[in-house]
Amino acid sequence: MKKKVLLLLLMSIILSVHPQIGQARGEGEQASLIVKSSSRSLHQTVLNIKSPKVVQALLQAYPQREVQEIPGTTNYILVEDNGLLRILAVDLTGNLYDVQQKVLLHLDSNTEKKIISYFERLHLYHFGQPVNWEEVDDIIPRYTTFTVIDLETGLRFKAQRRAGNKHADVQPLTKTDTAIMKEIYGGKWSWKRRAVVIQHKGYKLAGSMHGMPHGGGALANGFPGHFCIHFKDSVTHSTRSLDLSHQLMVHKAAGDLSSYVNELEAQEVVEALFIAINQHDLDLLNIVDPTISKQAKYLIDHVESIRFIKKNNPPTIQGDLVFELPLRFKIKQKGRKEVDSHYTFLLRRESPTDPWRFHELDEEKMIK
């Protein structure tokens, strides 16, 4: 058990830092399938592979070609071969990658099908279901108590829905639950959205919460107000519109964030870029556009916040394959004052069914 924990901790470190081949103690050949909501998530579901045939097939997977970046994924495989630790990743379509070497691997089709099947079952256990708000409204009516699980940390607390008809207005149940929730947010209340799973009477619902007390509260829990939990297609109470930042986290909690992002319209991709920067979420930025990894890291490192000056901005080009959007926005670099800025975003795609990608995003011009 201690050895497995060591391996999983090492995997988190390797995925969070510049990847290098790691050494692990022990002998023999073994493999573990790991599902986690992001590369940095401490909360993960693990399936140990006992079939020597499957382990051997993974070890014998050979390089096809180098890749610039590993696609955003929730699926990883930890393979140990006589002390040598390899980390593999499996994308949406079942392609296998060596994370440390940044290469696409060839895996025989029978093993590939088994691996995909294993991951499908792990997803059912780890993630929530993306249930529409209309159904959720009936599943957890007002004054229902349920469990909230944060998918990044694995911490959980009890909460009660108190109000809200377009999404759930919620309060931690006790002072202990308030303390756990504050720990999830690093000891400081925040509007930052987080992917959560709501457990109640056999249901596992994919949701998104923020961590900022506001409005009224009625429970003796040390929480000065309530917070919001959104679900699939829930809307804000003020504007009656979808909050894309919440919807992104709902789909992260459902384990289908990459698929959801790939279906976004071009203007929503620009909004998702801003959301990822504000959340300081490098994983989300790489999912929004895996071709801008260098720019993404620069933006995360230098920008504290970025926001639209106005919500609706007309594009200057709106074609099936090309989209151009001049924007004025406010941006605050770390250690500096917020200033007005402007940038023209150009996005392209290969066909009407492909996802939109930024074309020659200049991160330095963007933040000037």
In the predicted structure, residue 136 carries a pLDDT above the cut 90: yes
DSSP code per residue over 206-222: EEEEEE--BS---SSSS
Assess whether 93 and 189 both reside in one domain. no
Assess whether 175 and 145 both reside in one domain. yes
Q: Are 131 and 205 in contact (CB under 8 A)?
A: yes
pLDDT of 223: 96
Q: CATH number of the domain at 283, please.
A: 3.10.450.100
| Residue 134: count of CB within 10 angstroms of its CB | 11
Assess whether 147 and 249 both reside in one domain. yes
- Cα–Cα distance, 368 to 339 (Å, whole number): 9
Kindly indicate the confidence band of residue 33, based on its pLDDT and cuts at 50, 70 and 90: very high
Q: Angle at Cα 237 formed by Cα 157 and Cα 152, nearest 5°?
A: 30
- Cα–Cα distance, 92 to 282 (Å, whole number): 19
Q: Are 217 and 223 in contact (CB under 8 A)?
A: yes
The three-state secondary structure class of 299 is helix
Show Cβ contacts of residue 106 under 8 Å, excluding neighbours closer than 6 positions: 61, 62, 63, 64, 96
**Which one of 253, 287, 312 terminates a domain?**
253
Cβ-count burial of 198 within 10 angstroms (0-12 exposed, 13-18 middle, 19+ buried)?
A: buried
Q: Are 229 and 208 in contact (CB under 8 A)?
A: yes
Assess whether 116 and 158 both reside in one domain. no
In the predicted structure, residue 261 carries a pLDDT above the cut 80: yes
- Cα–Cα distance, 60 to 56 (Å, whole number): 6
Instruction: For residue 81, list its beta bridge partners.
Output: 29, 84
Counting residues of the chain whose pLDDT is more than 70, the rounded percentage is 92
pLDDT of 356: 97
Instruction: For residue 207, list its beta bridge partners.
Output: 196
- Cα–Cα distance, 125 to 44 (Å, whole number): 10
pLDDT of 20: 30
Assess whether 6 and 121 both reside in one domain. yes
261 domain residue, yes or no: no
Show Cβ contacts of residue 189 under 8 Å, excluding neighbours closer than 6 positions: 182, 211, 212, 213
- Condensed to tens digits (0 to 9), the pLDDT of residues 290-303 reads 888 888 889 999 99
Average pLDDT over residues 76-82: 92
- Condensed to tens digits (0 to 9), the pLDDT of residues 196-237 reads 999 999 999 999 999 999 998 889 999 999 999 999 999 999
259 domain residue, yes or no: no
**Which one of 74, 94, 126 terminates a domain?**
126
Give residue 128's Cα distance to chain centre. Answer: 13
Kindly indicate the confidence band of residue 45, based on its pLDDT and cuts at 50, 70 and 90: very high
Q: CATH number of the domain at 110, please.
A: 3.30.1490
318 domain residue, yes or no: yes
Q: Are 343 and 327 in contact (CB under 8 A)?
A: yes
Burial 291-326 (b: 16+ CB within 10 A, else e): ebeebbeebeebbeebeeeeeebebeeeeeeebbbe
Assess whether 52 and 114 both reside in one domain. yes
Handedness of CA 72, 152, 12, 90 (dihedral sign): negative
Assess whether 161 and 118 both reside in one domain. no
In the predicted structure, residue 246 carries a pLDDT above the cut 70: yes
**Which one of 126, 157, 172 terminates a domain?**
126
Assess whether 6 and 122 both reside in one domain. yes
Could you give the number of structural domains in the chain? 3
263 domain residue, yes or no: no
In the predicted structure, residue 4 carries a pLDDT above the cut 80: no
Average pLDDT over residues 42-58: 94
Q: Which domain holds residue 78?
A: 2-126
Q: Angle at Cα 102 formed by Cα 120 and Cα 350, nearest 5°?
A: 75
Instruction: For residue 105, list its beta bridge partners.
Output: 63, 96
Assess whether 238 and 141 both reside in one domain. yes
Assess whether 241 and 140 both reside in one domain. yes
Kindly indicate the confidence band of residue 311, based on its pLDDT and cuts at 50, 70 and 90: confident
The more confidently predicted of residues 116 and 312 is 116
Stated pTM of the model? 0.91
In the predicted structure, residue 345 carries a pLDDT above the cut 70: yes
Query: Which residue type occupies 156?
Result: R
57 domain residue, yes or no: yes
- Cα–Cα distance, 261 to 92 (Å, whole number): 12
DSSP code per residue over 4-51: HHHHHHHHHHHHHSS---EE-S--SEEEEEEEESSTT-S-EEEEEE--
pLDDT of 28: 67
Average pLDDT over residues 113-126: 96
Assess whether 186 and 234 both reside in one domain. yes
Average pLDDT over residues 77-93: 92
242 domain residue, yes or no: yes
262 domain residue, yes or no: no
Assess whether 144 and 224 both reside in one domain. yes
